[in-house]
Structure 1
Amino acid sequence: MREEETRLLSIGELAARTGMSVKLIRHWSDIGVVPPAGRTPSGYRRYSEEAVARLRLARALRDLGMGMAAIRDVVTSQRGLREVATRHADAIEAQIRTLRLQQAVLRSVTDRRTDIEEFTTMTELARLSATERTAIVHDFVARTMGDIDPSAYRDGLLATMPDLPDHPTAEQAAAWIELGGLVRDPALGAAMRRIAQYAATIAPTTTVDDEQAVRTVERVTDLWTRLVREAMVAGIAADSPTAAPVVAEIVAAWLPTQAEGGADGAEARRRLLAQLETVADPRAERYWQLMCIINGMPVRASIKAEGEWLMTALRANPEPGAREAGLAEVLETPAALEPAALLEACARVLDEVGALVAAVTPAQMGDPTPCADWNVRDLLNHLTYENLMWTGLAQGVPRADFDADHLGDDHVGAFRAAAAGTLAAFGRPGMLTERYGPAPGWRLVEQVLIEMLVHGWDLARATGAPTDLAPDVAEAMLPAVRAIYGDLPRTPGGSFAPAQTPLPGATPADRLATYLGRHP
């Protein structure tokens, strides 16, 4: 055998060949991972070529998180690599599951304010076994339902338990942590109990296995959410007259699914509203969403906004024709100003709002406004669209591009052009006395005045400008605003929030805005 084939390596040479430190190789040699093949007369360690392969294997196993005892067994052939790798993979999977749950706890802490007690609870939830997780939810259902007679809702709760898989995704782990905390909320229990009581009352014989009944409910739910969503996309306010046909279509589809049956009327709408008010609880909706996430089932999108819209529309339309009758009465009230003065007031308000628009800087475009879902740019876009919309109505060409960008790169020019179009359309001879549906033309002018005053006030508040818009015009419009909007339900989904109390010394525009729900 040639000398180079039998030559042993010094620890320094071994370090150079493997890229590992001398100190680490010496330590691993001491614990038996790579024992020396011999020593020099002076006592220095010498290693065979096999040590290079052993060290590389040991380093690879260590990088995978394997313990040194297991590594020693593998490299010294006391245990097979496959056996050790399998056991280590199983251990890693268990660690991953634990880490995901721990990560979900920490994410919950960072995403929302969490006190020490809540953090402790979440940590405990992360450590529970599958049996313990099921027991928590089962106890919640039993405690909540208690003495309620059998109902499909209660049976559905008992039939659906959290089944966190062996290898949960981060989303599933987070869902379990949230669900475990949610079922401890007394408000959820109260909501679930109300729903179960209602279900037991209206459908005492229905069971969770009644697939036809379930499919019917799903079909009607899909129908009304689609109709409402289409109305919302079209910019139809729940308390506007144009919501009435949507309500009628939904009630007509819902009635055949009810044991009482009957025709569309005040009683039917009262029952539908009561049903929606009972079941439309965001906590209950979230409970089912989390359960679906944990169990790997499709998650229904939230219909909270659609439910609020429909409930508001039912309150505004308590019986067929009610909204139209109320609107007809409002339309009979006299104009706030004489026709000539009305057009002059419109021009003046548009000019003052135009000055506010022109003062907006690019840096302010993303600032918040009193309109919760809009920043300054959104508000400017709406102000411009309002002019385009009312111009279209006055010209007999209605618009439906509510969500389009009407500003482009020049918000000042866009608003001024739209405002000029409004004044031109309203100034056409005969426009004020022509009929636009049930309303005379001057009512359209009043509506533009109201919209510009209120949203102009929003813009002034958002940009720090004075809110004393056209004081005499705002004062004159207050009675009209009360007549038009006084009976509308001030609930989520409606056009306006509940009226607020104006501050002492409030301007007429301030009083107008607070009456329509703006905070002073």
Structure 2
Amino acid sequence: MSVEGLLSIGELAGKAGVTVKTVRFYSDRGLLPEAARSSGGHRRYGPEALDRLRTIRALRSLGLPVPDVGTVLDREDTLRDVVAEQLRELGTRMAALRWREAALQLLQECAPEERADRLRLVGAVSAPPDTAVLARFWRRWLPPRLPARVAAAVIDRAVPQPPPDPSPAQVLAFARLHAFVSGDCAGGDRCQPAAHLPDRDNRPAVLYDGLVEAYALAAAQMRARRPPGEGEALDCFVSAYARSRGTRDSPDFRRRLGTVLASDPRIDRYWELVAELTAPSSGPPEPTPGAAHDWLLAALTGGRSAPPAP
């Protein structure tokens, strides 16, 4: 230490256990201000620089970028916010690594003749996966001019959230789901149920408001392992269609509705893949809206022309 009580750059580096190059790096970026210069132009640092350098090293060891380190040094009250942001970023990176690991396991474990096809499927999906493509599919599938509130409620239930720690089978299910919604039949009239077509005399907002409730009631019946049949869930389901068409529930309306729904275009494959993607590691799967629709249709038709409930 010099007579002025200041440290040379070498002395500071030695006390902190770092290289002179490291001290110079942080000094050049304004994180470690020098107290003075010697007569020969060499940097000198005050005794407080040692604690500051140790703080810088601690923050950098946690992965904080240099600009964030500077923010924390200037204002200690920002440390909590900076750490929270780093945790969010780290969570995203870890989720991506878990998805990549499961994707690699999928490719490693599959039969050689399946590998090229599965590589193509998983290669089209980001890690962690983005559900925006699923939401776009539903915006095309739903009737036009559906109120934003109703559309948001339907999309929220219809678009699954990928598991944070997926199995290889779940990675494959999402990749296939991504490919399905990216296909040709993604919302044109030829793919739409009758209630979606613009030339029909119906009110889709009324319909979908009622369907959200009907599907929830049916899901409760399915969790209880009750077979499709008469009851509140079916009444709510039929009422949603009747009210949307400005008519009333009746035996004749139910017969006609069953015929129309049984012949409607379907997206069963979407719901099958959603069930695979969201399947819990143990216990029964949570009924999807698609499975609830099948249960209600089976209840309406007595099982005729409708798939069995899962």
Compute the TM-score of the two structures, normalised by the length of structure 2. Answer: 0.51
Matching residue within 120, 126, 145 for 1:155: 145
The answer to whether residue 47 in structure 2 is matched with residue 60 in structure 1 is no
The higher-RCO structure (CA 8 Å, 6+ apart) is 2
Q: 2:23 is matched with which residue?
A: 29
C-alpha deviation, 1:62, in angstroms? 1.6
Q: Which amino acid aligns with 1:106?
A: R
- For residues 255 and 225 of structure 1, the distance between their equivalents in structure 2, rounded to whole angstroms, comes to 16
- Structure 2: stretches of 5+ with no match in the other structure: 108-116, 276-285
**Is the 1:36–1:47 contact (alpha carbons within 8 Å) kept by the matching residues of 2?**
yes
The answer to whether residue 126 in structure 2 is matched with residue 123 in structure 1 is yes
- For residues 104 and 219 of structure 2, the distance between their equivalents in structure 1, rounded to whole angstroms, comes to 34
Q: 2:201 is matched with which residue?
A: 204
Q: 2:251 is matched with which residue?
A: 264
- For residues 153 and 237 of structure 2, the distance between their equivalents in structure 1, rounded to whole angstroms, comes to 30
Q: Which amino acid aligns with 1:27?
A: K
- For residues 163 and 208 of structure 2, the distance between their equivalents in structure 1, rounded to whole angstroms, comes to 28
For residue 492 of structure 1, give the secondary structure of its aligned residue in structure 2: coil
Q: 1:281 is matched with which residue?
A: 267
C-alpha deviation, 1:490, in angstroms? 10
**Is the 2:297–2:306 contact (alpha carbons within 8 Å) kept by the matching residues of 1?**
no
Residue deviations 1:352-402, cap 9 Å, x none? xxxxxxxxxxxxxxxxxxxxxxxxxxxxxxxxxxxxxxxxxxxxxxxxxxx
C-alpha deviation, 1:56, in angstroms? 1.0
Q: 1:492 is matched with which residue?
A: 308
C-alpha deviation, 1:115, in angstroms? 3.3
Residue deviations 1:74-119, cap 9 Å, x none? 89xxx94569979977985895586377457526625856734334
Alignment length, in residue pairs?
263
Residue deviations 1:59-83, cap 9 Å, x none? 1232243456886x789xxx94569
C-alpha deviation, 1:275, in angstroms? 1.8
Residue deviations 1:416-458, cap 9 Å, x none? xxxxxxxxxxxxxxxxxxxxxxxxxxxxxxxxxxxxxxxxxxx
C-alpha deviation, 1:206, in angstroms? 0.9
Q: 1:99 is matched with which residue?
A: 93
**Is the 1:9–1:46 contact (alpha carbons within 8 Å) kept by the matching residues of 2?**
yes
Percent identity between matched residues is: 14
Q: Which amino acid aligns with 2:93?
A: L
- For residues 189 and 99 of structure 2, the distance between their equivalents in structure 1, rounded to whole angstroms, comes to 26
**Is the 1:195–1:279 contact (alpha carbons within 8 Å) kept by the matching residues of 2?**
yes
Structure with max Cα Rg? 1
- For residues 7 and 261 of structure 2, the distance between their equivalents in structure 1, rounded to whole angstroms, comes to 86
Alignment of structure 1 residues 8-47 onto 2, 5 Å: 15=14, 18=16, 20=17, 24-31=18-25, 33=27
Compute the TM-score of the two structures, normalised by the length of structure 1. Answer: 0.35
Cα distance change of structure 1 residues 203 and 287 upon mapping to structure 2, 3 Å threshold:
farther
Alignment of structure 1 residues 67-86 onto 2, 5 Å: 67=65, 80-81=74-75
- For residues 196 and 190 of structure 1, the distance between their equivalents in structure 2, rounded to whole angstroms, comes to 10
**Is the 2:215–2:289 contact (alpha carbons within 8 Å) kept by the matching residues of 1?**
no
- Structure 1: stretches of 5+ with no match in the other structure: 40-44, 146-151, 239-245, 290-299, 319-488, 495-520
**Is the 1:308–1:492 contact (alpha carbons within 8 Å) kept by the matching residues of 2?**
yes
For residue 203 of structure 2, give the secondary structure of its aligned residue in structure 1: coil
Q: 2:278 is matched with which residue?
A: none
Alignment of structure 1 residues 129-278 onto 2, 5 Å: 153-156=143-146, 160=152, 181-186=179-184, 189=186, 194-200=191-197, 204-208=201-205, 210=206, 213-227=207-221, 230=224, 232-233=225-226, 246-247=229-230, 255-256=238-239, 257-258=241-242, 259=245, 261=248, 263-264=250-251, 268-269=254-255, 271-272=257-258, 274-275=260-261, 278=264
Q: Which amino acid aligns with 2:63?
A: G
